[in-house]
Structure 1
Amino acid sequence: MSDLPPDAERLRVIRLYLQLQIDAVDAKIREAEGREPRPAATPPKQETSHAKGGIGWRLQHLPKGGALHGVIHRGDCPDVVGGWLSPRELQIALGMPDIEACPRCHPERTAAGA
């Protein structure tokens, strides 16, 4: 029996988050093997028609105390990196325990109207 949610929206958020973690692990492996870092893949372009004011939101992964966690940014945040989220995926991600909103750009403020 799977602990994964049944709906596609939540599964997409989880998939994006896990892909960001895999990319970070791959970068560390290349670093440990003394290989050149590979440039990060360019995430798909956000459909601005789905974002409030055309801003959009992105999910970033960060190491924290030996574990990885996510940070959600507005698309125009100067700290932004990571994959794009739809308004529904944003709402789902904001409710996940290991994901927080960026304290600099406050994406949860634009999320209310998403």
Structure 2
Amino acid sequence: MPEQDREPTPLEKNRALEEWLEFQLRQVRGRIRELEVQEEQERRRRAVAYAEQRWKIQPQRSNAQALLHRGNCTLFESGGGGFINREEAMIALAEPDIHPCEICRPDTGLTS
């Protein structure tokens, strides 16, 4: 009987199945990596959006005054936390020893 006309052996069938399953596993792992990247990008977008809607206070130093910054201002990194809301930012601006950052202009639209 010619080679192409014979029925595959159980071993050949199982090796073919193994190859197919390995292919499927590579596809699933690739999709998982894509989804992990998407999740991380979404987490970063949410963190940026949160920071953009918040403010932060840079404490007074011996050679510099205390400053109010927008949450996404890169001149002062508060370590990923320490954000204040709009009401707290308005109170901070009313304090005589806290000044708005001249770069990010946190007072724009805040005092109205």
Calculate the TM-score normalised by the size of structure 2: 0.46
**Greater helix content:** 2
**Greater strand content:** 1
The structure with higher relative contact order (CA 8 Å, sep 6+) is: 1
Calculate the TM-score normalised by the size of structure 1: 0.45
The higher radius of gyration belongs to 2
